[in-house]
């Protein structure tokens, strides 16, 4: 009976040490900027995306380069009217891009290999419309994933309503492409665009 007691206390001690170790190793989010119109946080990649970590932050991202990339990202949205053409629109307004670029640059330059820069940005005069996403650098490329896209608000006859955008996809521009899950460009994730940094 005496030999059972030390084993039980040893196991309890071991469990306590393991629990405290996992609690200590839980990564904390690092807030880069927090305001009503902008939030930029370093965190782990959200669940549901292919794991590319550890990320390789080999390049310094200057605010002007971040601004140029943000301004170059467009999306293609289906119109809600039948037989109408699809519309090419910028993901970020000029004000959003100018507001986000320096903080995103700072976050990407501070990020650890397992971290992405998660952001939510809106126009200061219209904080209810926001764009949400994550960004990270891997090698010579900046990856930008848009999780939520702002939708325009239309006013008419005293009523305000939000246009529903049933389907949209990012449109790769120069030095850009969609992330693909399979060789040969197949299995594209259309809310994930990759920009060459050189």
Residue 43 in this model has a pLDDT that exceeds 80:
yes
> How confident is the model at residue 128, as a pLDDT?
76
| Tens-place pLDDT, residues 118-152 | 999 998 777 778 899 999 999 889 999 999 987 54
Residue 3 in this model has a pLDDT that exceeds 80:
no
Q: How far is CA 19 from CA 8, 14, 27, 44, in A?
A: 16, 9, 15, 21
Query: What residue segments make up the domains of the chain, in order of their start?
Result: 29-196
Instruction: Report residue 196's pLDDT band, with 50, 70 and 90 as the boundaries.
Output: very high
**Of residues 121, 145, 131, 176, the one with CA closest to residue 55:** 145
């Amino acid at each position: 009976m005496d030999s059972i007691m030390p084993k039980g206390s040893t196991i309890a001690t071991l469990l306590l040490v393991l629990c405290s170790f996992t609690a200590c190793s839980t990564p904390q989010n690092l807030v880069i900027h927090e305001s009503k119109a902008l939030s930029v946080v370093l965190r782990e990649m959200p669940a549901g995306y292919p794991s590319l970590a550890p990320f390789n932050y080999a390049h310094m991202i200057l605010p002007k380069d971040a601004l140029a990339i943000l301004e170059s990202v467009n999306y293609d949205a289906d119109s809600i009217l039948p037989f109408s053409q699809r519309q090419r629109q910028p993901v970020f307004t000029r004000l959003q891009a100018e507001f986000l670029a320096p903080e995103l640059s700072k976050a990407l330059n501070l990020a650890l290999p397992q971290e992405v820069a998660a952001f939510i940005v809106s126009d200061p005069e219209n904080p209810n419309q926001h764009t949400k996403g994550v960004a990270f650098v891997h090698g010579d490329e900046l990856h930008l994933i848009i999780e939520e896209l702002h939708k325009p608000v239309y006013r008419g006859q005293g009523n305000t309503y939000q246009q529903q955008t049933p389907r949209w996809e990012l449109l790769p521009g120069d030095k850009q492409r969609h992330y693909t899950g399979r060789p040969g460009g197949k299995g594209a994730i259309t809310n994930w665009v990759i920009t060459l940094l050189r």
